């Protein structure tokens, strides 16, 4: 079998020159375009060298863009810095507020403390105004606790002094208003004081004006005091101050104790039925005075009466 010519060989020969021709045409166009652009560039370059128009336009456009970018950046920077400053200011204000609140709380605590100090100072000034005979030495004490009311075994208070600091059993306890009671039990550094309102309290008293004698006894915290063994013909009147007589040997003479509330004849005895109320509100005590014997006995002149411990002097004797 003989090989004959291929039917596509002529077509291939015809297509190759056509493709070559197209490529040459495209290349020429490219060269023409490049040449035109080169000529245009050289022309514009030459024109710009003479007039500097393009340089000015480029410089203005670049300057405007740079200004816009920088202004935007500066605005953002200012906003961020402003926000940070405001945040820092808020943090500072918050810290200052907390510091001021702490200072206010401290000042309020100081005011309360100073108020308590002033109140205590006023009470202590009143206490030291109590006239004390030289035979007795006053010693201050604070109230630690109290047992008063219907559920208490005794009407009593606890003070911060014991037998090592003057609070021996039997020591009288007073304020500037009058008698509070006496020390019942004592430890080295604390003591229990039996109040005059306790049913176990017995005090020898007499009326400050009429000098009528009697025995004052407690009936409980909420009950009036009773004055027993007052003679039926004694000139005791309501409103008189009862003071210690000193006849029982328990208390110094002349300490104010109570005020007479009522006087009436007794139905069962030959004595008067006398009731009184304490001069000292034992429920509101904070500081008291202990009366220790000083060991000093001031000699009295033969014509000089025994001095009263507290209160005005005895009234003059009535002429018969």
pLDDT interval class at 316 (50, 70, 90): very low
Please tell me whether residues 108 and 203 are part of one structural domain. no
Range of the domain at 253: 136-293
pLDDT interval class at 161 (50, 70, 90): very high
CATH value at residue 236? 2.40.10.340
In-domain check, residue 108: yes
Please tell me whether residues 141 and 83 are part of one structural domain. no
Q: What is the mean pLDDT of the chain?
A: 79
The pLDDT of residue 63: 75
Q: pLDDT tens-digit profile of 115-134?
A: 666 566 566 666 666 666 66
Mean pLDDT of 171-198: 93
Q: Which residues contact 135 (CB under 8 A, 6 or more apart)?
A: 252, 293, 294, 295, 296, 297, 298
Other C-beta atoms closer than 10 Å to the C-beta of 181 total 27
Please tell me whether residues 277 and 203 are part of one structural domain. yes
Strand locations in 92-239, DSSP E? 136-147, 156-159, 172-174, 179-186, 191-195, 202-207, 213-217, 225-231
Residues 278 and 261: their CA atoms lie apart, in Å, by 10
The pLDDT of residue 131: 63
In-domain check, residue 61: yes
From 111, 132, 153, give the residue that closes a domain.
132
Q: Which pair of tokens denotes residue 209?
A: 């004006």
Q: Which pair of tokens denotes residue 52?
A: 């500097």
Residues 225 and 231: their CA atoms lie apart, in Å, by 17
- Asked if residue 11 has pLDDT above 60, the reply is no
Q: Are 287 and 281 in contact (CB under 8 A)?
A: no
pLDDT interval class at 185 (50, 70, 90): very high
Please tell me whether residues 88 and 219 are part of one structural domain. no
Please tell me whether residues 160 and 246 are part of one structural domain. yes
From 88, 105, 132, give the residue that closes a domain.
132
Residues 199 and 139: their CA atoms lie apart, in Å, by 26
The pLDDT of residue 23: 79
DSSP 134: T
In-domain check, residue 199: yes
In-domain check, residue 9: no
The pLDDT of residue 182: 94
The proportion of the chain whose per-residue pLDDT surpasses 90, expressed as a percent, equals 30
In-domain check, residue 313: no
pTM: 0.57
From 92, 107, 132, give the residue that closes a domain.
132
Determine phi and psi for 221, rounding to 5 degrees.
-60, -40
Please tell me whether residues 172 and 287 are part of one structural domain. yes
Domain count, the chain: 2
DSSP 239: T
Q: Are 162 and 191 in contact (CB under 8 A)?
A: yes
In-domain check, residue 4: no
Please tell me whether residues 60 and 194 are part of one structural domain. no
Please tell me whether residues 35 and 123 are part of one structural domain. yes
In-domain check, residue 228: yes
- Asked if residue 260 has pLDDT above 60, the reply is yes
Please tell me whether residues 284 and 209 are part of one structural domain. yes
Please tell me whether residues 124 and 254 are part of one structural domain. no
Residues 141 and 287: their CA atoms lie apart, in Å, by 6
Mean pLDDT of 84-112: 81
The pLDDT of residue 160: 92
Please tell me whether residues 161 and 248 are part of one structural domain. yes
Please tell me whether residues 286 and 211 are part of one structural domain. yes
DSSP 283: G
pLDDT interval class at 298 (50, 70, 90): low
The more confident residue out of 32 and 229 is 229
Nearest 5 degrees, angle CA 273-CA 276-CA 279? 165
- Asked if residue 105 has pLDDT above 90, the reply is no
Q: Which pair of tokens denotes residue 100?
A: 């001021």
In-domain check, residue 267: yes
Residues 56 and 64: their CA atoms lie apart, in Å, by 12
Q: Are strands 172-174 and 287-293 parallel, antiparallel or unpaired?
A: antiparallel
């Amino acid at each position: 079998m003989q090989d004959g010519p291929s039917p596509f060989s002529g077509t291939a020969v015809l297509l190759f020159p056509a493709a070559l021709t197209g490529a040459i045409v495209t290349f020429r166009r490219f060269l023409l375009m490049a040449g035109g652009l080169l000529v245009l560039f050289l022309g514009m370059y030459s024109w710009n060298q003479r007039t500097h128009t393009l340089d000015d336009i480029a410089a203005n456009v670049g300057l405007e863009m740079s200004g816009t970018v920088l202004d935007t950046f500066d605005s953002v920077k200012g906003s961020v810095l402003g926000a940070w400053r405001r945040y820092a200011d808020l943090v500072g204000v918050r810290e200052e507020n907390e510091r001021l609140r702490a200072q206010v709380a401290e000042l309020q605590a100081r005011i309360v403390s100073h108020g308590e100090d002033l109140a205590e100072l006023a009470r202590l000034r009143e206490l030291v105004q109590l006239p004390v005979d030289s035979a007795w030495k006053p010693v201050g004490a604070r109230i630690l606790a109290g047992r008063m009311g219907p559920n208490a075994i005794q009407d009593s208070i606890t003070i911060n002094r014991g037998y090592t600091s003057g609070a021996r059993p039997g020591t009288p306890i007073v304020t500037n208003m009058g008698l509070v009671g006496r020390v019942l039990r004592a430890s080295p550094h604390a003591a229990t004081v039996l109040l005059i309102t306790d049913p176990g309290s017995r005090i020898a008293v007499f009326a400050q004006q009429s000098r009528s004698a009697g025995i004052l006894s407690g009936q409980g915290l909420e009950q009036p005091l009773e004055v027993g063994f007052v003679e039926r013909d004694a000139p005791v009147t309501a409103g008189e101050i009862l003071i210690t007589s000193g006849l029982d040997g328990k208390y110094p003479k002349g300490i104010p104790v109570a005020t007479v509330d009522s006087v009436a004849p007794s139905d069962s005895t030959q004595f008067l039925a006398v009731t009184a109320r304490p001069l000292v509100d034992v429920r509101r005590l904070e500081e008291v005075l202990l009366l220790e014997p000083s060991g000093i006995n001031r000699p009295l002149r033969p014509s000089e009466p025994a001095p009263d411990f507290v209160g005005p002097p005895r009234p003059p004797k009535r002429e018969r």
